């Protein structure tokens, strides 16, 4: 197979998982990463230093890093102290990126310099350089601002998300990467606050909708309280397609390897209900004009994680996801040659 050119869109732990799997198959990976997080560590840096959210960028950089292991480990280190509420829990990499931004005079230059220092294989780009915030209109008419409030549990359902600032533009190089890609992945991750927040940058959504490469939504494994209560897999796919402008999504990659009962029960107690790939759900996805593809893509062997003030979920396995994605690209290439 010719060299695979991949673009992975998202943030959190989802897009980096896909990137970690694909790096075993190609060096040509571009992570287009969300910058609207406003959680505790990232939120403090954004307020104090006026930079786009660095946290998801930090995670993506460390996944592709091949430099000094001590520096890579340090990048993910969180300070632990009872003497400073501001510093406790702060990720060193977030401060590092903010310091580089001040030194270089540009968040993009900071990411590029961090990429060089970490020796990453591939490229990481923020979806935008605008220091904007995610907002949402809820079903009861309430408007909430900032990602940490948009994803909060216990509120009315999310009706629509949008960016606080108008005319937000894509980072230089991102549109070109999408146009040249053989594979564009969306997610997995928080539906509204991670996956679709990237698609709120109009240039990004338009480029993906018009892309010649295969566009795949890596479907979430569970519902997420505060964002997708009551959703099925088809509802997730519908929302992604809508924020792409109604077209351009080719495949929804869905797990068909049931998790162990103890994992199901653990997450269900926390409101994260496992999403079953039923015949009815798959038919609904097909009716949306998206091809549902099932494959064993979850990590069934690792236990629950203790994340920093965020919800855990049944995670994807990097190698299994990448294997399924590569198969999809390989299947598609002969058809494209036949049509050319």
Q: What 3-state class would DSSP assign to 320?
A: helix
Q: Would you say 252 and 290 are in contact if contact means Cβ atoms under 8 Å apart?
A: yes
Give residue 80's pLDDT. Answer: 87
Give residue 47's pLDDT. Answer: 78
| DSSP-H helix ranges across the chain | 14-22, 40-49, 55-64, 69-75, 92-104, 107-118, 147-150, 174-180, 197-199, 202-209, 233-243, 261-268, 279-287, 318-339
Rounded Cα distance, 7 and 180, in Å: 9
pTM, 2 dp: 0.94
Q: Quote the Cα angle for 116-122-127, to 5°.
A: 90
Q: What 3-state class would DSSP assign to 7?
A: strand
Rounded Cα distance, 138 and 14, in Å: 25
Please return the burial class of 240, using the count of CB atoms within 10 Å of its CB with bins 0-12, 13-18 and 19+.
buried
| Percent above pLDDT 70 for the chain | 95
Give residue 18's pLDDT. Answer: 98
- What integer best gives the mean pLDDT of the chain? 93
| Kind and range of the H or E run holding 96 | helix 92-104
Domain with CATH 3.40.50.10680 in the chain: 5-34+172-339
Give residue 84's pLDDT. Answer: 82
Reported as a single tens digit per residue, the pLDDT across 105-136 is 999 999 999 999 999 999 999 999 999 999 99
Give residue 81's pLDDT. Answer: 85
The arrangement of strands across the sheet holding 158-163 comes to: 143-145, 134-138, 158-163
Residues of the chain with pLDDT under 70: 1, 305-311, 334-340
CATH 2.60.40.420 fits domain 5-34+172-339: no
Closest by CA position to 12, among listed 276, 305, 267: 305
Rounded Cα distance, 221 and 316, in Å: 8
């Amino acid at each position: 197979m010719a060299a695979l050119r991949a673009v992975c869109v998202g943030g959190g732990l989802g897009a980096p998982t896909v990137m970690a799997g694909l790096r075993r198959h190609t060096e040509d990976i571009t992570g287009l990463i969300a910058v609207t997080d406003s959680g505790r560590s990232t939120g403090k840096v954004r307020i104090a230093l006026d930079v786009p959210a660095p946290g998801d960028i930090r995670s993506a950089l460390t996944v592709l890093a091949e430099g000094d292991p001590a520096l890579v480990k340090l990048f993910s280190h969180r300070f632990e102290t009872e003497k400073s509420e501001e510093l406790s829990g702060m990720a060193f990499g977030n401060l590092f990126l903010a310091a580089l931004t001040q030194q270089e005079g540009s968040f993009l230059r900071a990411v590029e310099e961090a990429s060089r220092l970490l020796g990453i294989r591939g490229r990481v780009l923020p979806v935008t350089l605008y220091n904007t915030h995610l907002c949402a209109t809820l079903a009861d008419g309430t408007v909430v601002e900032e990602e940490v409030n948009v994803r909060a549990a216990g509120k009315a359902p999310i009706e629509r998300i949008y960016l606080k600032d108008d005319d937000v533009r894509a980072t230089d190089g991102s549109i070109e990467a999408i146009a040249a890609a053989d594979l564009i992945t969306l997610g997995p991750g928080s539906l509204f606050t991670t996956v679709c927040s990237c698609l709120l940058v109009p240039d990004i959504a338009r480029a993906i909708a018009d892309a010649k490469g295969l566009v795949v939504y890596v479907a979430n494994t569970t519902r997420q309280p505060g964002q997708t209560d009551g959703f099925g897999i088809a509802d997730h796919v519908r929302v992604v397609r809508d924020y792409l402008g109604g077209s351009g999504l080719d495949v929804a990659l869905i797990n068909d390897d049931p998790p162990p009962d103890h994992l199901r029960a653990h997450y269900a107690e926390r409101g994260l209900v496992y999403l079953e790939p039923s015949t009815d759900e798959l038919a609904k996805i097909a009716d949306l004009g998206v091809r549902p593809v099932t494959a064993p893509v979850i990590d069934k062997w690792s236990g629950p994680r203790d994340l920093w003030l965020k919800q855990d979920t049944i995670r994807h396995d990097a190698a299994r996801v990448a294997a399924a994605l590569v198969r999809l690209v390989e299947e598609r290439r002969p058809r494209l040659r036949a049509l050319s």
